[in-house]
């Protein structure tokens, strides 16, 4: 798929709008998204500005009558956005690769033409950055995955995938915080707690935090 | 208080939803038919965001432990209390010890029980709605079970019986039939990734609602919808109403318990003014999509607001007339 030079802006019905940045899936672009999100969250009639992976969703308190002003503000805001460098915490997450929860370990390895051991070591090598939260309470999208272990999302999403699943979807990876439907491929699991509504900030991790996976065990 | 005596399927406590927690990955939850929940609360003089019980399957039985005003809105149901039949979209007064039985649901997919003052479960992250995935909100973050006790906010007022015209009558769409729901949609980001023939197929098809449809999403069955080339998008925010097309070519409408982000291509989004119609569409039924412009979608929301304004006015007038007697 070709990447356009200008941002793409599209509607999500009357309740939200999606801004997709041009360019690579990398930290410099994501830092500009964080910056644009901080700006846009202060605009009138915007309920929340929610970063995704090099994109930004704005939800409306009240849907704007006409969209041109908002679209222009987003384009200008993107052009003006300096990267916002967030100095986050570093988290170490012990992972059991494979097993019942990580049952796609072999099929992802096969798809990528790698041995299970190589897949695991490639997955556990980088220091990942939390790019965004989304999907379900406390879930973190991580940036920094090696493109050699990319695998397209499922043809048909699963109705239920286990909580704590470490999964790959496209060129992204992440850890589910609770059981639920998923279109990704689970290669392992962790038992860490990512979310508690009684915490002052309900999600344990925030954009800018970093995560290192530690190989606890590999079940073949 | 209310005691749940018997329940079929995942009934839950819902208010209008949790709208400002997306940045933590927390979706809206909330009533699948928000118009019906609002109408029930209007009938009772409640805050429109007061929590009620969403009941998707029959039979359902509960007992009131004290005199309580209540209303049934949403799906057309056969219900009775202490031997009296309760018409749909009707408020009534229960006496202490009365058992309400909802026996059958000939029309629609979800019935809402609202009570004077609202169901008084704790507010979690700004809402009383049940967040199933996060297991919080509502009653212990889970579906209701027999034996559950639900606290009701104090409401001592005894009110007379009163009914209102159901939303599906007042807001009926001209071309809709009994077994086919027509909903208006605004096209979404990847619409242009499908060719003209596929667009035509999407618009003219009558989509079957599969049994795998629930509060998370409505999974539809019909002809295969394929983009010109496979699309693998970076994950981005989505909202209830977004229609995704996974690679199998079968659309999924994201509903109230949907994930807050996704990466499957989006062909269109059901407009807010019609999302409740999806929430009332039955498994096995048919759905058809009608393209609408953003400005017309806003006009449809205004029409829905006007309907609710009329309900508010009418209920207030009835109370004033009663007070004068």
φ/ψ (deg, to 5) at A57? -105, 130
Share of chain B above pLDDT 90, in %: 87
d(CA A71, CA A38): 16
The Cα-based distances of B288 to B85, B202, B238, B311, B317 in angstroms read 34, 9, 21, 29, 38
pLDDT at A59 over 60: yes
- pLDDT of B155: 66
Two tokens at A201? 């900030």
Using a CB-CB cut-off of 8 Å, the residues of chain B touching A159 are: 212
In this predicted model, what pLDDT tens digit does every residue of A107-127 receive, in sequence order? Answer: 999 999 999 999 999 999 999
* Residue extents of the structural domains in chain B: 2-164, 180-292
d(CA A79, CA A189): 40
Rounded to an integer, the average pLDDT of B170-182 is 81
- pLDDT of B170: 86
Domain B180-292, CATH: 2.40.100.10
Rounded to an integer, the average pLDDT of B21-28 is 96
The Cα-based distances of B69 to A54, A172, B53, B72 in angstroms read 50, 52, 14, 11
B59 upstream amide cis, omega within 30 of 0: yes
Q: CB-based contact (8 Å) between A159 and chain B?
A: yes
Q: CB-based contact (8 Å) between B216 and chain A?
A: yes
Nearest residue on chain B to A46, judged by CA atoms? Answer: B20
Q: CB-based contact (8 Å) between B239 and chain A?
A: yes
In this predicted model, what pLDDT tens digit does every residue of B208-217 receive, in sequence order? Answer: 999 999 999 9
φ/ψ (deg, to 5) at B109? -125, -15
Full DSSP string of B68-102: EEEEEEEEEEEEEETTEEE-SSEEEEEPTT-EEEE
Rounded to an integer, the average pLDDT of A180-189 is 91
Two tokens at B262? 């996704």
Residue window 96-115, chain A: list those with CB within 8 Å of chain B: none
Rounded to an integer, the average pLDDT of A78-84 is 92
What's the gap in Å between the CA of A106 and the closest CA on chain B? 22
Residue A1: pLDDT band by 50, 70, 90 thresholds? very low
- pLDDT of A26: 92
pLDDT at B299 over 70: yes
Using a CB-CB cut-off of 8 Å, the residues of chain B touching A132 are: 235, 261
Full DSSP string of B262-317: E-S-EEEEE-HHHHHHHHTPPTT-EEEEEE--HHHHHHHHHHHHHHHHHHHHHHHH
Q: Round the average pLDDT of chain B to a whole number and report it.
A: 94
Q: Which residues contact B225 (CB under 8 A, 6 or more apart)?
A: B194, B198, B201, B202, B245, B249, B250, B251, B267
Q: Which of A79-88, B107-116, B291-300 has the lowest mean pLDDT?
A: A79-88
The domains found in chain A, sorted by start residue, are 8-80 (3.30.1360.40), 90-219 (2.40.100.10)
Chain A, chain B: beta-carbon pairs less than 8 Å apart: 189
Contact A169 B263 (CB under 8 A): yes
Q: Angle formed by the axes of helices A68-80 and A27-40, to 10°?
A: 130
pLDDT at A2 over 50: no
pLDDT at B317 over 70: yes
d(CA B281, CA B323): 39
Provide the 10 A C-beta neighbour count for residue A90.
Answer: 9
ipTM: 0.94
Question: What residues are paired with B81 via a beta bridge?
Answer: B84, B100
- pLDDT of B266: 98
In this predicted model, what pLDDT tens digit does every residue of A124-174 receive, in sequence order? Answer: 999 999 999 999 999 999 999 999 999 998 888 888 888 899 999 998 899
Residue B232: pLDDT band by 50, 70, 90 thresholds? confident
Contact A157 B247 (CB under 8 A): no
- pLDDT of A5: 82
In this predicted model, what pLDDT tens digit does every residue of B139-161 receive, in sequence order? Answer: 999 999 999 999 998 765 667 88
d(CA B161, CA B176): 31
Rounded to an integer, the average pLDDT of B39-67 is 96
Nearest residue on chain A to B29, judged by CA atoms? Answer: A136
Rounded to an integer, the average pLDDT of A89-108 is 96
For residue A21, how many C-alpha atoms fall within 13 Å in the half-sphere facing its CB? Answer: 28
CA angle A116–A167–A178, rounded 5-degree value? 135
Q: CB-based contact (8 Å) between B259 and chain A?
A: yes
Contact A10 B188 (CB under 8 A): yes
Q: CB-based contact (8 Å) between A197 and chain B?
A: yes
Using a CB-CB cut-off of 8 Å, the residues of chain A touching B252 are: 157
* Burial class of residue B105, CB neighbours in 10 A (0-12, 13-18, 19+): buried
- pLDDT of B154: 72
pLDDT at A3 over 70: no
Residue A205: pLDDT band by 50, 70, 90 thresholds? very high
d(CA B61, CA B76): 16
Share of chain B above pLDDT 70, in %: 98
């Amino acid at each position: 798929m070709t990447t356009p030079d200008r941002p793409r802006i599209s509607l999500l019905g009357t309740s939200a709008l999606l801004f997709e940045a041009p360019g690579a899936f990398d930290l410099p672009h994501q830092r500009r998204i964080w910056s644009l999100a901080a700006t846009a969250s202060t605009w009138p009639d915007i309920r929340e500005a929610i970063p995704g992976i090099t994109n930004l969703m704005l939800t409306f308190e009240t849907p704007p009558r006409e969209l041109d002003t908002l679209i222009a503000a987003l384009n200008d805001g993107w052009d003006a956005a300096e990267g916002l460098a967030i100095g986050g915490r570093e988290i170490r997450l012990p992972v059991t690769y494979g097993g019942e929860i990580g049952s796609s370990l072999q099929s992802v390895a096969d798809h990528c033409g790698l041995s299970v051991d190589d897949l695991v070591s490639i997955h556990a090598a980088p220091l990942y950055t939390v790019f965004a939260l989304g999907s379900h309470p406390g879930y973190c999208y991580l940036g920094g995955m090696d493109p050699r272990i990319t695998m397209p999302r499922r043809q048909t999403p699963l109705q239920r995938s286990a909580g704590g699943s470490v999964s790959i979807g496209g060129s992204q990876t992440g850890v589910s915080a609770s059981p639920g439907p998923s279109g990704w491929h689970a290669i392992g699991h962790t038992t860490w707690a990512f979310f508690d509504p009684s915490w002052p900030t309900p999600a344990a991790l925030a954009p800018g935090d970093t995560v290192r996976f530690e190989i606890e065990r590999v079940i073949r | 208080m209310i005691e749940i005596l018997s329940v079929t399927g995942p009934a839950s406590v819902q208010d209008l939803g949790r709208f400002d927690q997306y940045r933590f990955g927390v979706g809206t939850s909330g009533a699948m038919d928000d118009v019906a929940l609002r109408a029930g609360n209007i009938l009772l003089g409640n805050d429109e965001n007061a929590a009620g019980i969403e009941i998707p399957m029959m039979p359902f039985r509960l007992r009131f432990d004290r005199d309580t005003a209540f209303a049934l809105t949403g799906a057309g149901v056969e219900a009775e209390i202490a031997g009296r039949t309760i018409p749909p979209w009707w408020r009534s007064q229960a006496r202490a010890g009365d058992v309400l039985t909802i026996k059958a649901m000939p029309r629609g997919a979800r019935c809402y029980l609202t009570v004077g003052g609202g169901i008084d479960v704790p507010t979690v992250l700004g809402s009383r709605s049940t967040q199933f995935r996060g297991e919080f909100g509502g009653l212990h973050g889970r579906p209701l079970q027999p034996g559950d006790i639900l606290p009701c906010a104090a409401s001592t007022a005894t009110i007379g019986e009163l009914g209102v015209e159901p939303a599906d009558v007042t807001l009926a769409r001209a071309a809709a039939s009994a077994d086919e729901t027509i909903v208006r949609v605004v096209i979404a980001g990847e619409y242009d990734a499908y060719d003209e023939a596929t667009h035509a197929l999407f618009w003219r098809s009558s989509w079957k609602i599969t049994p795998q449809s629930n509060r998370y999403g409505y999974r539809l069955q019909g002809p295969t919808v394929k983009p010109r080339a496979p699309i693998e998008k970076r994950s981005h925010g989505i909202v209830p109403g977004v229609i995704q097309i996974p690679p199998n070519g079968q659309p999924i409408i994201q509903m109230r318990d949907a994930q807050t982000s996704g990466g499957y291509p989006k062909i269109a989004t059901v407009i807010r003014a019609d999302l409740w119609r999806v929430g009332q569409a039955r498994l096995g039924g048919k759905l058809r999509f009608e393209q609408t412009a953003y400005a017309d979608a806003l006009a449809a929301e205004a029409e829905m607001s006007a309907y609710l304004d009329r309900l508010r006015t009418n209920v207030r007038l009835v109370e004033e007339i009663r007070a004068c007697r």
